[in-house]
Amino acid sequence: IRAQDLQYWADPFHQQPGETNTRDGGHGVYFDDPNGHNLELLTRPYGSG
């Protein structure tokens, strides 16, 4: 994401730009795919923390 200079957010509503979240003891980030769909990457599944 950073290497491609893509915008990213810590939340799905794009209120925290340039940040990642640390929910459930992992890291999560949201970004838009080339078609504008909001995608999410997580290092730990929900509820695992």
* Structural domain total, the chain: 1
Distance, in Å, from the CA atom of 5 to the CA atom of 16, rounded to the nearest integer, reads 16
**What are the tens digits of pLDDT across the range 25-48?**
999 999 999 999 999 999 999 888
Residue position matching structure tokens 């999410």: 40
**What are the tens digits of pLDDT across the range 4-31?**
999 999 999 999 999 999 999 999 999 9
49 within domain boundaries: no
Distance, in Å, from the CA atom of 17 to the CA atom of 1, rounded to the nearest integer, reads 13
47 within domain boundaries: no
26 within domain boundaries: yes
38 within domain boundaries: yes
Identify which of 47, 2, 4, 1 has the alpha carbon closest to the alpha carbon of residue 25: 47
Write down the pTM of the prediction: 0.87
Instruction: Provide the token pair at 24.
Output: 């459930």
